[in-house]
Amino acid sequence: MAPSRGTVAAGHPRTAEIGARVLREGGSAADAAVACALASWVCEPLLTGPAAGGHLLAVPTDGPAVAIDAFCQVPGLHPAGVDEERRAARDPLADLVAVDVDFGDAHQVFHAGAASVAAFGLMDGLERLHARWGRLPLADLAAPAAALARQGVVLNRQQAFVAALLRPILELTPESRALWWPDGALLTEGEPFRDPELGDTIERLGRDGAAPLRDGDLAAACVDWCGRHGGVLTRADLAGYRAVERDPVRVPYRDRTVLTVPPPSAGGVLLALALGRLDRATGPDGAPGPAALIAAMADAEAERTDAFEEGLVRPGFADELLALRLGSTTHLSVIDADGLACAITTTNGEGSGVVVPGTGIHLNNVMGEEDLNPRLRAGGGADAPAAFAPGRRMPSMMAPTAVLPPAARGGGVEAILGSAGSSRIRSALLQTVVGLVDHGLGPAEAVDAPRVHLEDGVVYAEPGLRDAEGDWTSGRTLVEFREPNLFFGGVQLVRRDPGTGTLAAAADPRRGGATATA
């Protein structure tokens, strides 16, 4: 049997298979990750897309790890001469459309409409990843995704469930309804989602790179359509956008080192803080149970003050925080035969409901995410924090993460992982890392294990938790889910045995994830 060329874990079976095909054709993990990301725009069209934001992590065997920040920015940049006083007086929350989403055992309010659209640059991040470690032409990596968009992808159970959840957003505009109600009824499981215009856009981006979405005709179409419907996105927002390469945050955990994305992402530093606190609280031989996990989550959540939000843009903030206090989304992970590990987490939020005619692009609603926008989280009243200035990166919860093995067991990456799930990303990753390192679980067991999440003083729990006897909630309100739920994230994980180099992967069944090996 020929040795494996690599392994992929992604949020959809078609996405994973496209990545594995790229690896079989001689592509690197970076090539496979880019091809998977483009395919996810079609296979998971309500979670990501050309107007999405994302965070990328690449860990090569022959150089330093790189985190690529391609997340969304606050819109509203203008050339000199625009009436700044008039623009500043506009309430950025006034035109948002509130939408209540029912997860079955929990509710969450999202905000959509053109006013929720943030400046985006995911394609710039993908192009940078490809330029650093890619081998195959970008056009070849885009071709499978373009073909899928034109042919259609049959909705699986999870994607049909997401469509049903987000129905109030999908109903907002005629353009969105045309995609999701092609025959007068909302698409359901077993029916194909088609978007030929999106296929044309993907093909164009494969040929020309990010430029058309930065300062070309696709950017102009997005800005003009958004503006006609009350949005504040400008051409200057997109023309000035650039993905930023940064050094990952490094935190010791047991005898491993964990790498994750740095500020201005909030998710990575909060995950690092929780791991550091857990490492100290339970000791090297104490495999933490639900009570310890919740305590670590509570410590990390307590850091999310106004000062924390402002500190995210300050150089050195992650090191400062960790030193002082020790500190709708989809994901894909890839490791290739050479040991290059890549992880990409992307989100379109839940989508704004605004689909740009002629492009197939469903614009994001990142400015309407309560977990990312501190004004929304504070209720938007007089005492709420001031709005972020135009051009600032939003503080994402995304945290693509790598686990490095103990030095005695060799170099390379032991695991590369990430998760979907908004504020649940960091708790999903925390518990998966604990499962791998402390409980000695395999990839599938670590991903499938029941999860707990703490937010606003409420403990949300899946059934079947280990060590669930006694008052492990410390008196907090407990919301028990009846079965595993996509509310708790969607972890995609590839593990490499440090001794043998053997690859194994797991994809989260909560979000219909899948793995594929080349």
Virtual torsion, Cα 313, 318, 324, 325, nearest 10 deg: 110
| CB environment 270-285: b (16+ within 10 A), e (fewer) | bbbbbbbbbbeebeee
Name the helix (H) or strand (E) containing 67.
strand 66-70
d(CA 107, CA 104): 7
Say if CB 460 and CB 453 are below 8 A apart: yes
Say if CB 493 and CB 333 are below 8 A apart: yes
Say if CB 52 and CB 352 are below 8 A apart: no
Among residues 329, 345, 346, 401, the one annotated as catalytic is: 329
Half-sphere exposure (CA, 13 Å, Cβ side) for 353? Answer: 25
Other CB atoms within 10 A of residue 91 CB: 11
Q: Is-catalytic flag, 359? A: no
In sequence order, what are the residues at sequence separation of 6 or more whose Cβ sits closer than 8 angstroms to the Cβ of residue 449?
431, 432, 435, 441, 466
> For 236, which DSSP code?
H
Q: Which of 300, 355, 317 is nearest to 46 (CA)?
A: 355
d(CA 268, CA 262): 6
d(CA 97, CA 275): 37
| CB environment 329-339: b (16+ within 10 A), e (fewer) | bbbbbbbbbeb
Burial of 344 (0-12, 13-18, 19+ CB in 10 A): buried
* DSSP per-residue codes, 109-173: EEEESGGGPPB--HHHHHHHHHHHH--S-HHHHHHHHHHHHHH-EE--HHHHHHHHHTHHHHTSS
Give catalytic residue positions.
329
